[in-house]
Amino acid sequence: MNLLNIDLAAVDWARAQFALTAIYHWLFVPLTLGLAVVMGIMETLYYRTGKDFWKQTAKYWQRLFGINFAMGIATGLILEFEFGTNWSNYSYLVGDIFGAPLAVEGIVAFFMESTFVAVMFFGWNKVSKGFHLASTWLTGLGATISAWWILVANSWMQYPVGQEFNPETMRNEMTSFADVALSPVAVDKFVHTVLSAWVLGAVFVVGVSSWYILKKRNEEFAQKSLRVGAIFGIIASLMLMASGHHSAFTVAQTQPMKLAAMEALYKGGADQPLTLIAGINPFEQPDYEAQDEAPLKIAVPYALSFLATNDIHGYVPGIRDILDGYTRPDGTQELSLNEKIERGQLAITALAEFRKAKAEGADEATLNSKLSTLNSNIPYFGYGFVKDRSQVVPFIPVCFYAFRIMVGGGCLFVLLFIIMLFPSTRGGKDNTPSRGRWKGVFALACIPISYIVSEAGWLVAEFGRQPWTIQDMLPTWAGVSHLGSGAVMTTFFLFLVLFTALLAVEINIMCKAIKKGPEL
């Protein structure tokens, strides 16, 4: 049983199943994180004013939070099952590192969220106002800290720091928990992801409030909720833009191929423009080897260089530069793909020889020699499994369009928040422009759009790092279990049915709760 025997369809089905599970899981998470802040703000207003209006408003948004929270519970656990069954080589290699943040997440999620959620829902009139308010905020904080650890685990796959490989145990062992937990990729990913969830939560609040306005019911509640949602949304959006720029900068440093795929940048250089749109076939990998740039490209001069390097003249490598090797601005050389493959193969051979020598009881000098070769080439270990250039280039159309959906959607929501908020601050009660029907419909339409945009962000992050399960260390076809594709395909469809049913139930319960409205 070896890599040559791997059923490539099984790799694709395992990837598809993981993607399906993660996409469904992410339908629940961002609304939890976003509504956590909204309900905290509403209850803070109650705490400060003592008005029953704000108490009922807070309780209403907490009810919607509770529905979403309950439906989302444990949907992420299935991802961990998939690691053990479908991605067993990967799980074994990195379990010691990957397990730590997931375990912390489980403990924090269980104790913090379960304690404070109970006080938040059951504690009205039983605990003091201050303690209840603290519980509401701590429920949200617990959910956000949970997200932190999950994102730390994800970030480690994209930027594997704080570890070293032990050839005897065949495991990557953690050398610095702080490096893993506080890596620049983890910090950027956490900030950007949580802020995006806040924006989604704000869009949800604005959209739901607009529905009441369209229906001409609960209007005071709807107008005030809309205002809170729009102000929160604008603040979160501005912070999201700043974090997006910083994330792009980090990606450029740590995963240049991802950035090149996002931009369909085949041949890089200095003074690079940022592509607004280009004619890329969404279903076919473009010919990045022959073309110098994507056809019908409309771009903003120098913007990509600024995004990637904080310098409008900065050098940004394209896909071919990364494959052929290039000189970085600091004068150091990035190896070509062929050189990386060669060094990856040296690492794999050294590992095999080390383990063989160890088993045969070879002397210390022989073992050290093998170990030295392994250690000097270990950063390229994953390239030893690569056979040709196309294997290390992500599917460009998905990265390219998902990035534009993410950024375009973010801009659309800023527009939504502005038009819902600013005109209504000038108008009187009867001529508030937010009462306009088209605005209400627009706000409602933005709810499903915000989910598409949020998922698009994950598509950029995860498609962009292909083919790596762990960046430069383990490609998907080496990390997967040697299972038949049939078994994985069966569970794929099982999940599709299960999650779709769960989603239908959530939408149904949520719509009923919205129709019922606040108890005002």
Partner 1 sequence: MKWISEVWHLYYDGFRQMTLGRTLWVIILVKLFVIFVILKLFFFPDFIKQNANGDEAEFVSKNLIQP
CB 394 → partner 1: shortest distance, Å?
23
Check residue 81 for interaction with partner 1 (CB under 8 A). Answer: yes
Check residue 267 for interaction with partner 1 (CB under 8 A). Answer: no
Instruction: Give the Cα separation of 370 and 3 in Å (integer).
Output: 22
**Residues in contact with partner 1, total (CB under 8 A)?**
50
Check residue 56 for interaction with partner 1 (CB under 8 A). Answer: no
Check residue 507 for interaction with partner 1 (CB under 8 A). Answer: no
Strands 163-166 vs 171-174: parallel, antiparallel or unpaired: antiparallel
Compare residues 11 and 45 and give the one whose CB is closer to partner 1. 11
CB 295 → partner 1: shortest distance, Å?
41
Check residue 113 for interaction with partner 1 (CB under 8 A). Answer: no
Check residue 9 for interaction with partner 1 (CB under 8 A). Answer: no
Tokens of residue 302, six digits = 């120098």
Phi, psi of 478, deg, nearest 5: -95, -25
CB 490 → partner 1: shortest distance, Å?
8
User: Between residue 347 and residue 376, which ones bind partner 1 under the rule CB under 8 A?
Assistant: 348, 351-352, 355
Check residue 511 for interaction with partner 1 (CB under 8 A). Answer: no
Instruction: Give the Cα separation of 21 and 78 in Å (integer).
Output: 7
CB 461 → partner 1: shortest distance, Å?
25
Helix (H) or strand (E) holding 60: helix 52-72
Tell me the window of 122-130, 146-154, 268-276, 279-287 that interacts with partner 1 (CB under 8 A). 122-130
Bridge partners, residue 334, by sequence = 326
Compare residues 40 and 66 and give the one whose CB is closer to partner 1. 66
Q: Is 257 helix (H, G, I), strand (E, B) or coil?
A: helix
**Inter-residue contact 307 to 274 (CB < 8 Å):** yes
Check residue 289 for interaction with partner 1 (CB under 8 A). Answer: no
Tokens 């656990």 correspond to 77
Check residue 497 for interaction with partner 1 (CB under 8 A). Answer: no
Instruction: Give the Cα separation of 420 and 414 in Å (integer).
Output: 10
Check residue 77 for interaction with partner 1 (CB under 8 A). Answer: yes
Check residue 482 for interaction with partner 1 (CB under 8 A). Answer: yes
Q: Cα dist. 12→282, 295, 464, 495, 500 in Å?
A: 19, 30, 16, 16, 21
Check residue 473 for interaction with partner 1 (CB under 8 A). Answer: no
Q: Is 79 helix (H, G, I), strand (E, B) or coil?
A: helix
Residue 77: partners with Cβ closer than 8 Å, 6 or more residues away: none
Is the backbone peptide bond immediately before 467 cis, with ω within 30 degrees of 0? Answer: yes
**Inter-residue contact 305 to 316 (CB < 8 Å):** yes
CB 76 → partner 1: shortest distance, Å?
10
Tokens of residue 484, six digits = 């038949």
Bridge partners, residue 326, by sequence = 334
Q: Is 4 left (phi over 0), alpha (psi -120 to 50) or beta?
A: alpha
Other C-beta atoms lying within 10 Å of the C-beta of residue 408:
16
Compare residues 64 and 174 and give the one whose CB is closer to partner 1. 64
Compare residues 321 and 506 and give the one whose CB is closer to partner 1. 506
Instruction: Give the Cα separation of 439 and 437 in Å (integer).
Output: 5
Tell me the window of 27-35, 66-74, 147-155, 262-270 that interacts with partner 1 (CB under 8 A). 66-74
Tell me the window of 97-105, 166-174, 211-219, 312-320 that interacts with partner 1 (CB under 8 A). 166-174
Check residue 169 for interaction with partner 1 (CB under 8 A). Answer: yes
Looking at 118, 242, 298, 504, which residue binds partner 1 (CB under 8 A)? 118
Check residue 490 for interaction with partner 1 (CB under 8 A). Answer: yes
Write the burial class of residue 496 (CB in 10 Å: 0-12 exposed, 13-18 middle, 19+ buried). middle
Q: Closest Cα to residue 461, out of 170, 177, 158, 92?
A: 158
Check residue 53 for interaction with partner 1 (CB under 8 A). Answer: no
Check residue 300 for interaction with partner 1 (CB under 8 A). Answer: no
User: Between residue 318 and residue 337, which ones bind partner 1 under the rule CB under 8 A?
Assistant: none
Check residue 91 for interaction with partner 1 (CB under 8 A). Answer: yes
Residues near partner 1 (CB under 8 A): 1-3, 63, 66-67, 70-71, 73-75, 77-78, 81-82, 84-86, 88-89, 91-93, 118-119, 121-123, 126-127, 168-171, 348, 351-352, 355, 478, 481-483, 490-491, 494, 498, 502, 505, 509, 513
